[in-house]
Structure 1
Amino acid sequence: MNITSVLHVGATGLVGRDVLARLLDDPRATRVVAPTRRPLSVAHPKLVNPVVDFDALPATADWWKVDAVICTLGTTMRQAGSREAFRRVDHAYPLQVARHAQAAGARVYALNSAAGADQRSRVFYSRVKGELERDLEAVGFESLVLVRPGLIGGERQEHRAGEAAASVVLRVLGPVLPRGWRINPATRVAAALVDATLAPQPGRQVVDAALLAG
């Protein structure tokens, strides 16, 4: 598959910022569409930045016409404030984007999912992630990439106390921990998403936390 145009949702997050920078720097991507709630501070000749309301995405907009999608949308229960709001951001939005883009011709979808994603999980977070993976498979992309990081390392714009504490512990214990339990640098997660999108393989691929470990 020849992939030259990519739609990227979630461009303002920790992983998303790095994904956007990589796409803009990579000569294989000649057009990058990054819909956001507010205008990005980035300017680039190949960047298209429609300002959107994710609760009312325009299904017939021309910018849906891309070869591939990278999704790094996501929140936390604390930020969302409720299970309903969390599910909307981490399931409804990514799935709606997938359906609109696939209907317009996209053949590849790469998702920043999570370690432990399982539609049968008793843990709400993991169950939502697993349900999204299941529902994306039903959309019918030629290539579906599921990147499943554990704890992601990097400089976030917002402070997450629990993740910060866990990061300190994992950095100390990292050398003796199994690779699947180590911190996954945001740069490695972003690289896995971009590389799998611009050089896609047919079918479903999973990139697990052990492969992303620092």
Structure 2
Amino acid sequence: MSGARAILIGGTGATGKPLVRELINSPHFIEITSLVRSVDLNVSSDKLRQVVVDFEKLENYKSEFEGKDVAFDVLGTTKKQAGSAERFIEIDYGYSAKFSELSKEAGVRSMHLLTSTGSNPNSWFLYPKTKGRLEEKMKADNFHFLSIFRPGFLERPNSDRFVENLIGKVMSGLKVEVLAKAMRIEAEKELLNVSDKNQVKVLSNSDIYKLVEQEK
């Protein structure tokens, strides 16, 4: 398949920005629709449409999902940024769950989801539990192909997250540019997949590095 149309959320975030650039530069994608709170003025392309939406009322934007082949969810926040545990769940799970439902309803063939290592719906901890619940939700939505990216520590440019900066001083992490490239590669591979059987693929750091190395 060639000339794919993609839709994504989280396109103005740390992973989303390099992912949007990867999709713009890919000859396999002819249109990228990025659902955003505010437009990123630092990126522009004839391929890219940045659509300002109210994520609380995402169902009002059903038309944006029509005719799309591939969906990417790289949306993410923290409890601190959200302001409370309840608000964190509303954003990190609620927005993404609705995005998944609308994508499936519109006939999107494949979903590529960014979560985190340790994601587990039965975890006692808020972050991995929420990410784990989201993974299970998207599995239940039964896309033809679902890839779940579970990176470990991510190196984000100009991060203001204290823990990330602290860890980054003692160990190297996965650069968000590498993660974005891997997500684009995996999506392109799936476009060529003619299997009738639905598939779920979970990728760890080592899988992500292998994908990128294979393209060199």
Q: Same fold (TM over 0.5)?
A: yes
Distance (Å, rounded) in 2 between the aligned partners of 1:141 and 1:80: 29
Q: Is the 8 A contact 1:69 1:110 kept in 2?
A: yes
1:188 to 178, 186, 194: 178
In the TM superposition, 1:59-70 aligns within 5 A as: 59=60, 61-65=62-66, 66-70=68-72
Cα distance, 1:191 vs structure 2: 1.4
Q: Structure 1 counterpart of 2:205, which letter?
A: A
1:141 to 2:146 alignment: no
Residue equivalent to 1:15: 15
Residue equivalent to 1:98: 100
Distance (Å, rounded) in 2 between the aligned partners of 1:150 and 1:213: 12
Cα distance, 1:129 vs structure 2: 0.5
CA deviation map 1:31-53 (0-9, x unaligned): 10001011221221111111101
Q: Is the 8 A contact 1:3 1:199 kept in 2?
A: no
* Other structure's SS at 1:96 match: helix
Distance (Å, rounded) in 2 between the aligned partners of 1:213 and 1:30: 26
* Other structure's SS at 2:35 match: coil
Distance (Å, rounded) in 2 between the aligned partners of 1:36 and 1:137: 24
Residue equivalent to 1:203: 199
Q: Is the 8 A contact 1:9 1:34 kept in 2?
A: yes
Percent identity reads 26
Cα distance, 1:212 vs structure 2: 3.8
Q: Structure 2 counterpart of 1:152, which letter?
A: L
Count of residue correspondences: 202
In the TM superposition, 1:9-88 aligns within 5 A as: 9-41=9-41, 42-59=43-60, 61-65=62-66, 66-88=68-90
Distance (Å, rounded) in 2 between the aligned partners of 1:170 and 1:5: 37
CA deviation map 1:95-126 (0-9, x unaligned): 10111111111010000110000111112111
Distance (Å, rounded) in 2 between the aligned partners of 1:71 and 1:3: 20
Q: Structure 2 counterpart of 1:196, which letter?
A: E
Alignment TM-score, normalising by the size of structure 1: 0.89
Cα distance, 1:210 vs structure 2: 3.0
Residue equivalent to 1:116: 118
Structure 2 residues not aligned, in runs of 5+? 211-216
Distance (Å, rounded) in 1 between the aligned partners of 2:177 and 2:6: 19
Cα distance, 1:58 vs structure 2: 3.6
Q: Is the 8 A contact 1:9 1:72 kept in 2?
A: yes
* Other structure's SS at 1:110 match: strand
In structure 2, relative to structure 1, the CA distance for the partners of 1:208 and 1:163 (3 Å cut) is same
- When the two chains are superposed, the root-mean-square deviation of aligned CA atoms in Å is 1.7
Structure 1 residues not aligned, in runs of 5+? 172-182
Q: Structure 2 counterpart of 1:78, which letter?
A: K
Cα distance, 1:3 vs structure 2: 6.6
* Other structure's SS at 1:17 match: helix
Alignment TM-score, normalising by the size of structure 2: 0.88
Q: Is the 8 A contact 1:149 1:209 kept in 2?
A: yes
Cα distance, 1:86 vs structure 2: 0.9
